[in-house]
């Protein structure tokens, strides 16, 4: 399957994935008329993917293929793929909405996210994930009304295994099959806070088991809410039905299941025929605090808290080994001065903190840092402050152990909201920490620290190091990978600062030295949800003072122990897996407190007998379990049913939602009168905000940022009073609201102005109309004056200016209403007192200019838009001559004297237009404008690309002179070229022969018109490359090696250069007589033209039926299902007939053939062996 894209969205997504960056769109609607297929052919690490910004993809695909398909090829490592913030609207005739495939254990997709994506009404599954796709999450996404089902995760036929999957929030509703399916061996999935509603089959189908389902709702699915086999853990779920969902949880056990706090509600008529659960098979069921009827088979052992086979306990005083970690360092132990660098990241971050704003940088995808960025915050900031890099990478060239970024809070400073988001730090091992944040003392604080989608890799120290007084901190979807001294650390500081109220949601820790996540020096108040701890060279979690809660997370192959704790800790729906290196799941030395394990499992997949245990706890304390497992307990550790913590203390607190006008434009900042209905407010970070407008719920929503700030602009509001209610519902079902009543007024006052007499008067009394009972302000001859008047109850006002000299004057009257809208009127008159005679006066002053001078400068009078504008006397009629000829069209100046006019029928070229006004005294004023009109849009077309001495030269044409060509190599800008008098351009740039180069071009002419090239110039490397063109006319040069070249649609120019090259055609439409490809250097006996995938060509032993050279001066016959060629005009024309009937061509007219490919040169000696068709 070749890589294909669909203009705009598909091309943007493909470029971002291949280029290793996140593309950002702004919410447009895209029509997708062919499947978007993206092959990832080389290891790529991001963040990479697309943020649709609320975009909608309207499917017109009707061939049953997925709308978006991302295929990872053998040997490829794809990390940090992200798809977010868009909706797919299907037609029911395509396949899946989104399909991600890594079909084999020799390719991988991991650390991926799908966030706020809705797929509805497609013909297949909404989301289809197959193969080696792991350590990823789907957040706040909805799969609605999809024919085959909502979402499916499956091991692939080629051996790839999905695992370590998370689904948080959102839901699966009204689908034609099951809501969510785990298939072909897939089982490692945790679901939290999702809704499964009215699916035509079960809500969740898990034939091989499921890790955990928590805090989710199941309503009227046509079958069980959940159907599973083998094992599963179910906590705090709600099952509601009128009868069609007969069983909430139906399982056939070959292991154990835990059910804690689940509820079943029947809403139908008559007695309740439903059951909360029906558990059969052979295994153990651990049931605590459920509400509803539970049916268990005779071979299912039922127990409550502390019961069942968890009692396989060995009393042993041999505990786990404790690692040695670096000591906590404090900013005050060695004062660090702020750095003074001028690079973009440091400048932007320093400016943001100084001004109390969040700076957004989107101008590049890569920043290089050569010295530590150190910023001391020396004054309090309550506004949200920080930086968002839009998915960019910071590449560290720092040596000497200094941090890449360090932020230090000085004594006495109170920081309200500090946010860092959407970037990666790529270390070299010579620096210290990646990001270090220090508030070393009780006399300073960061009240809200938000880190969102920030990845730190391969730094010499700790990836993220937070020390001291942080009263609330949230890390979302962030990965710490391969860092020398640890993934992340949160610690109370030496100076007394306390880190508390901490949350880590999603993302995780992989291959870090020391440990993955470290809570040190007494820090313990942290909740971890949906994170992964994998292959760390020490514990995945190191928490010697305990940890509040670890939930819905996975620990795999961490060295020695998955989670090391020293005091109270709670683990809910957590999986521990290893081939042997992670001997213990939860281990440590307790100094009192209770460790609770609820729905926690351990899996060994190594060779031989299982050497691992679920838990090994020494010291003194209590271990409480709901579920089973192998346990080693010290002599002073009590095994107890205890009181397992399924969640932190019951959440009955509704989200605190605030709402206000973003801009209260009225007389005061709090009168709630505005001309701008934009709203803003705060709520829970990352949560969706819903709205009702004047009592009616609307579909539009907003998303709170990582620091909890949201914004929304209602549309379609009429002027008048409105009530908008904003609401958030948290995972516990609590809803918080805020209501705002405001008056919208977008209409400016309508002001009129006139003199009591004519325009020549000795009594300058002004009168006019406006809004009743509203002040009228004045400017006289361009200067504002203090005098005002007030319109009466009927809106009429009058005013007599004083101190005016005889002559012409312009007076502007204006009113500003309560919402800040201003309306005005201007009037020009001539004052002549009794002591002076009225003279004809000067000529009217007429001005004229282009409305839009689109050329290289705003004054060069070159444009593609001939619209004119100018000034004259108020109400005057403007006449025009165009290139010396008077025309009948006129324009009229408005009350302020402004006029506009668009001449019609102008051809491109130089023009002169004279505008004139004749006043009441018969005096005429004129203004003349000469300009050049250029409405032609320059389109750059590549004609060649060649390489020599480490440089590439690309050439092309726009057909017009003096166009500026902007040339790109992939997403990277390469430079400018200018077309000569013949319209051609040439550009030479450095081009490594070890890489493939994809050149694109845009063109801008002197009038500012911009055209985008629809073809590419593709230059291969010295290796054997697979090169594919676009839908435009491409120029492809294979470079060295044995290349495989596909031009695609359009008339392409292809060159294999050195090597044995294969020119591949996948459809007859890729090279037709109307748009034939040209191969410039085809070598008989070495190169081949491959028609393998084209139907209608007869072949034997991989060689197509070859008619050879057909010659003659008249009509020539092209046999059915065969390949032939004619020689004419210095070229060899390869012709293909895919039909059942002969086709008639001539040496100069080949349009009847189904395909034509032009080979430069004649007497090439073509034979059947130059073609292939397997």
**Who has greater pLDDT, 227 or 625?**
227
Return the CATH class of domain 752-799+807-830. mainly beta
User: Is the model's pLDDT at 311 over the cut of 80?
Assistant: no
User: Is the model's pLDDT at 801 over the cut of 60?
Assistant: yes
Say how far apart CA 555 and CA 575 lie, in whole Å: 6
Say how far apart CA 373 and CA 214 lie, in whole Å: 42
Residue 679 tokens, joined: 């709203």
Least confident of 404-418, 426-440, 458-472, 658-672: 658-672
pLDDT attached to residue 701:
84
Say how far apart CA 337 and CA 631 lie, in whole Å: 51
pLDDT tens figures, 841-868: 688 999 999 988 888 788 888 888 999 9
Mean pLDDT of all residues in 485-492? 94
pTM more than 0.75 = no
Mean pLDDT of all residues in 175-196? 95
Fold observed for domain 847-933? Immunoglobulin-like (2.60.40)
User: Is the model's pLDDT at 348 over the cut of 90?
Assistant: no
pLDDT attached to residue 322:
60
Nearest to 732 by CA among 702, 695, 687: 687
Mean pLDDT of all residues in 46-67? 90
User: Is the model's pLDDT at 66 over the cut of 60?
Assistant: yes
Highest mean pLDDT among 171-180, 321-330, 733-742: 171-180
**Would you mind telling me the total number of residues written for the chain in this entry?**
1174
972 contacts: CB under 8 Å, gap ≥ 6: none
Residue 1082 tokens, joined: 């085809």
pLDDT attached to residue 1:
34
User: Is the model's pLDDT at 312 over the cut of 60?
Assistant: no
> Which residue ranges make up each domain of the chain?
22-309, 338-480, 658-744, 752-799+807-830, 847-933, 945-1172
- In which band, very low, low, confident or very high, does the pLDDT at 363 lie, cut at 50, 70 and 90? low
pLDDT attached to residue 817:
86
DSSP 7-72: TTHHHHHHHHHHHTSEEE--S-EEEE-S-EEEEE-S-EEEEEEEEEEEEEEEE---SS--SEEEEE
pLDDT tens figures, 933-962: 988 888 999 999 998 888 989 999 998 888
User: Is the model's pLDDT at 780 over the cut of 50?
Assistant: yes
Nearest to 250 by CA among 196, 203, 308, 198: 203
pLDDT tens figures, 491-540: 998 888 899 999 999 999 999 998 999 999 999 999 999 999 999 999 99
User: Is the model's pLDDT at 551 over the cut of 60?
Assistant: yes
Highest mean pLDDT among 480-489, 670-679, 698-707: 480-489
Find out whether 154 and 186 touch, Cβ atoms under 8 Å: yes
Percent of the chain with pLDDT over 90: 52
Q: How many C-beta neighbours within 10 Å does residue 411 have?
A: 13
- In which band, very low, low, confident or very high, does the pLDDT at 68 lie, cut at 50, 70 and 90? very high
Q: What is the mean pLDDT of the chain?
A: 88
Find out whether 404 and 427 touch, Cβ atoms under 8 Å: yes
First to last CA, the chain: 16
- In which band, very low, low, confident or very high, does the pLDDT at 724 lie, cut at 50, 70 and 90? very high
User: Is the model's pLDDT at 837 over the cut of 70?
Assistant: no
Say how far apart CA 9 and CA 546 lie, in whole Å: 47
- In which band, very low, low, confident or very high, does the pLDDT at 437 lie, cut at 50, 70 and 90? very high
Extract the runs of DSSP E, i.e. beta strands, from 634-719: 636-640, 658-661, 673-674, 679-682, 688-693, 696-697, 702-703, 709-712
- In which band, very low, low, confident or very high, does the pLDDT at 643 lie, cut at 50, 70 and 90? very low
Mean pLDDT of all residues in 78-82? 92
pLDDT tens figures, 557-568: 999 999 999 899
pLDDT attached to residue 646:
37
User: Is the model's pLDDT at 648 over the cut of 70?
Assistant: no
pLDDT attached to residue 684:
85
User: Is the model's pLDDT at 662 over the cut of 80?
Assistant: yes
SS3 content of the chain, % helix, strand, coil (to 5): 5, 50, 45
Residue reference for tokens 């960025």:
373
Say how far apart CA 899 and CA 876 lie, in whole Å: 9
For 658-744, CATH number out of 2.60.40.10, 3.50.50.60, 1.10.357.10, 2.60.40.420 equals: 2.60.40.10
- In which band, very low, low, confident or very high, does the pLDDT at 308 lie, cut at 50, 70 and 90? very low
pLDDT tens figures, 463-475: 999 999 999 999 9
pLDDT attached to residue 179:
97
Find out whether 799 and 766 touch, Cβ atoms under 8 Å: yes
Say how far apart CA 965 and CA 987 lie, in whole Å: 9
Residue 337 tokens, joined: 């001065």
3-state SS assignment for residue 422:
strand
Q: How many C-beta neighbours within 10 Å does residue 898 have?
A: 15
pLDDT attached to residue 987:
93
Nearest to 945 by CA among 1033, 1055, 1028, 1021: 1055
For 945-1172, CATH number out of 2.40.30, 3.20.20, 2.150.10, 1.10.260 equals: 2.150.10
Fold observed for domain 22-309? Pectate Lyase C-like (2.160.20)
User: Is the model's pLDDT at 2 over the cut of 80?
Assistant: no
Identify the bridge partners of residue 604 per DSSP, sorted by sequence position: 578
User: Is the model's pLDDT at 664 over the cut of 60?
Assistant: yes
For the chain, the C-alpha Rg in angstroms (whole number) is: 37
pLDDT attached to residue 382:
85
Q: How many C-beta neighbours within 10 Å does residue 714 have?
A: 16
Say how far apart CA 169 and CA 163 lie, in whole Å: 19
Alpha helices in 307-363 (DSSP H): 344-355
- In which band, very low, low, confident or very high, does the pLDDT at 278 lie, cut at 50, 70 and 90? very high
Angle at the Cα of 143 (from 137 to 146), degrees rounded to 5?
Answer: 135
pLDDT attached to residue 1004:
86
Identical topology for domains 847-933 and 945-1172 = no
Say how far apart CA 869 and CA 878 lie, in whole Å: 11
pLDDT tens figures, 291-300: 999 999 988 8
User: Is the model's pLDDT at 1125 over the cut of 90?
Assistant: yes
pLDDT attached to residue 397:
94
pLDDT attached to residue 647:
39
DSSP symbol at 470: B
**Who has greater pLDDT, 302 or 909?**
909
DSSP element (H, E) containing 916: strand 909-918
Residue reference for tokens 């509820």:
263
């Amino acid at each position: 399957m070749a890589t294909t894209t669909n203009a705009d969205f598909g091309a943007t997504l493909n470029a971002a994935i291949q280029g290793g960056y996140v593309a950002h769109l702004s919410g447009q609607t895209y029509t997708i008329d062919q499947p978007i297929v993206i092959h990832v052919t080389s290891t790529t690490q991001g963040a990479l993917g697309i943020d649709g910004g609320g975009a909608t993809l309207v499917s017109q695909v009707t061939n049953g293929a997925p709308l978006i398909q991302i295929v990872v090829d053998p040997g490829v490592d794809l990390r940090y793929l992200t798809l977010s913030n868009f909706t797919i609207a299907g037609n029911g005739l395509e396949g899946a909405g989104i399909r991600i495939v890594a079909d084999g254990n020799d390719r991988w997709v991991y650390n991926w996210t799908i966030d706020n994506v809705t797929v509805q009404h497609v013909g297949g599954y909404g989301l289809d994930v197959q193969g080696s796709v792991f350590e990823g999450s789907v957040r706040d996404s909805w799969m609605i009304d999809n024919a085959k089902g909502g979402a499916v995760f499956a091991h692939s036929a080629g051996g790839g295994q999905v695992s370590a999957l998370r689904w948080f929030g959102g839901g699966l509703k009204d689908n034609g099959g099951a809501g969510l399916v785990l298939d072909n061996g897939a089982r490692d999935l945790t679901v939290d806070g999702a809704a499964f509603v009215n699916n035509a089959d079960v809500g969740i189908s898990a034939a091989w088991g499921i890790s955990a389902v928590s805090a989710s709702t199941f309503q009227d699915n046509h079958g069980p809410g959940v159907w599973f086999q083998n094992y599963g853990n179910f906590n705090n779920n709600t099952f509601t039905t009128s009868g069609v969902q007969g069983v909430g949880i139906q399982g056939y056990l070959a292991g154990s299941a835990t059910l804690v706090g689940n509820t079943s509600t029947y809403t139908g008529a008559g007695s309740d025929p439903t059951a909360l659960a029906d558990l059969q098979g052979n295994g153990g069921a651990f049931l605590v605090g459920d509400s509803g009827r539970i049916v268990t088979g005779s071979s299912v052992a039922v127990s409550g808290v502390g019961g069942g086979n968890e009692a396989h306990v060995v009393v042993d005083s041999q505990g786990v080994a404790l690692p040695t970690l670096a000591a906590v360092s404090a900013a005050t132990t060695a004062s660090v001065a702020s750095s003074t660098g001028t690079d973009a990241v440091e400048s932007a971050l320093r400016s943001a903190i100084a001004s109390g704003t969040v700076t957004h940088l989107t101008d590049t995808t890569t920043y290089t840092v050569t010295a530590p960025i150190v910023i001391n915050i020396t004054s309090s900031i309550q506004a949200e402050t920080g930086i968002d890099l839009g998915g960019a990478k910071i590449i560290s060239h720092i040596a000497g152990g200094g941090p890449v970024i360090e932020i230090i809070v000085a004594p006495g400073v109170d920081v309200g909201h500090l946010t860092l988001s959407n970037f990666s730090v790529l270390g070299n091992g010579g620096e210290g920490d990646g990001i270090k944040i220090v508030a070393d003392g009780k006399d300073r604080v960061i009240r809200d620290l938000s880190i969102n989608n920030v990845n730190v890799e391969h730094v010499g120290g700790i990836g993220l190091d937070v020390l001291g007084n942080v009263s609330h901190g949230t890390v979302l979807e962030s990965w710490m990978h391969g860092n020398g001294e640890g993934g992340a650390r949160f610690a109370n500081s030496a100076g007394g600062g306390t880190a508390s109220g901490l949350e880590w949601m999603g993302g995780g820790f992989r291959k870090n030295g020391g440990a993955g996540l470290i809570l040190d020096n007494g820090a313990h108040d942290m909740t971890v949800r949906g994170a992964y701890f994998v292959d760390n060279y020490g514990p995945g979690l190191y928490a010697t003072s305990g940890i509040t809660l670890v939930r819905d997370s996975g620990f795999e192959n961490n060295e020695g122990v998955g989670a090391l704790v020293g005091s109270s800790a709670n683990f809910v729906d957590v999986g521990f897996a290893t081939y042997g290196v992670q001997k213990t799941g939860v281990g440590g030395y307790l100094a009192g407190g209770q460790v609770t394990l609820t729905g926690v499992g351990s899996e060994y997949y190594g060779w031989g007998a299982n050497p691992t245990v679920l838990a090994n706890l020494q010291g003194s304390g209590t271990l409480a379990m709901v579920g089973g497992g192998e346990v080693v307990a010290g002599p002073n550790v009590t095994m107890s049913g205890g009181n397992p913590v399924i969640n932190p203390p019951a959440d009955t607190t509704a989200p605190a939602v605030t709402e206000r006008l973003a801009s209260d434009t009225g007389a005061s900042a709090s009168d709630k009168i505005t001309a701008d209905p934009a709203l803003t407010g705060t709520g829970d970070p990352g949560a969706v905000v819903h709205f009702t407008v004047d009592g009616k719920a609307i579909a539009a929503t907003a998303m709170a940022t990582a620091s909890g700030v949201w914004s929304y602009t209602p549309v379609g509001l009429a002027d008048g009073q409105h009530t908008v209610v904003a609401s958030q519902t948290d995972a516990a079902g609590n809803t918080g609201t805020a209501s705002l009543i405001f008056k919208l007024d977008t209409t400016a006052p309508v002001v009129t102005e006139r003199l009591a007499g004519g325009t020549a008067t000795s009594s300058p009394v002004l009168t006019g109309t406006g809004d009743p009972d509203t002040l009228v302000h004045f400017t006289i001859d361009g200067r504002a004056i203090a005098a005002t008047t007030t319109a009466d109850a009927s809106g009429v006002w009058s005013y007599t200016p004083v101190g005016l000299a005889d002559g012409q004057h312009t007076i502007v009257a204006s009113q500003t209403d309560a919402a800040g809208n201003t309306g005005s009127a201007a009037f020009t008159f001539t004052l002549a007192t009794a002591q002076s005679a009225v003279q004809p006066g000067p000529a009217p002053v007429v001005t004229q200019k282009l409305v839009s001078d689109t050329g290289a400068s705003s004054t060069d009078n070159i444009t593609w838009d001939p619209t004119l504008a100018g000034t004259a006397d108020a109400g005057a009629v403007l006449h025009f001559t165009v290139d010396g000829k008077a025309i009948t069209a006129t324009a009229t100046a408005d009350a302020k004297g402004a006029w506009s006019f668009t001449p019609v029928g102008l051809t491109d070229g130089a023009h002169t237009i004279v505008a004139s006004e004749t006043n009441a005294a018969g005096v005429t004023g004129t203004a003349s404008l000469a300009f050049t009109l250029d409405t032609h849009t320059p389109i750059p077309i590549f004609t060649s690309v060649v390489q020599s001495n480490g440089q590439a030269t690309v050439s092309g044409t726009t057909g017009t002179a003096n166009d500026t060509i902007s040339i790109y190599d992939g997403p990277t800008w390469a430079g400018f070229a200018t077309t000569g008098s013949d319209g051609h351009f040439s550009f030479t740039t450095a081009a490594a022969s070890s890489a493939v180069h994809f050149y694109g071009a845009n063109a801008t002419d002197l009038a500012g018109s911009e055209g985008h090239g629809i073809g590419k110039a593709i230059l291969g490397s010295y290796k054997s490359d697979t090169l594919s063109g676009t839908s435009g006319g491409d120029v492809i040069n294979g470079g060295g090696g044995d290349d495989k070249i596909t031009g695609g649609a359009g008339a392409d120019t292809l060159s294999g250069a050195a090597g044995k090259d294969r020119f591949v055609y996948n459809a007859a439409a890729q090279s037709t007589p109307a748009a034939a490809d040209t191969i410039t250097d085809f070598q008989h006996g070495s190169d081949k033209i491959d028609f393998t995938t084209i139907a209608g060509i007869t072949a034997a032993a991989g060689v197509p039926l070859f008619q050879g050279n057909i010659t003659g001066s008249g009509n020539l016959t092209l046999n059915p299902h065969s390949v032939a060629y004619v020689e004419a005009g210095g070229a060899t024309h390869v012709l293909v007939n895919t039909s059942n009937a002969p086709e008639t061509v001539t040496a100069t007219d080949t349009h009847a053939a189904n395909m034509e490919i032009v080979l430069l040169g004649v007497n090439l000696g073509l034979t059947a062996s130059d073609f292939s068709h397997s």
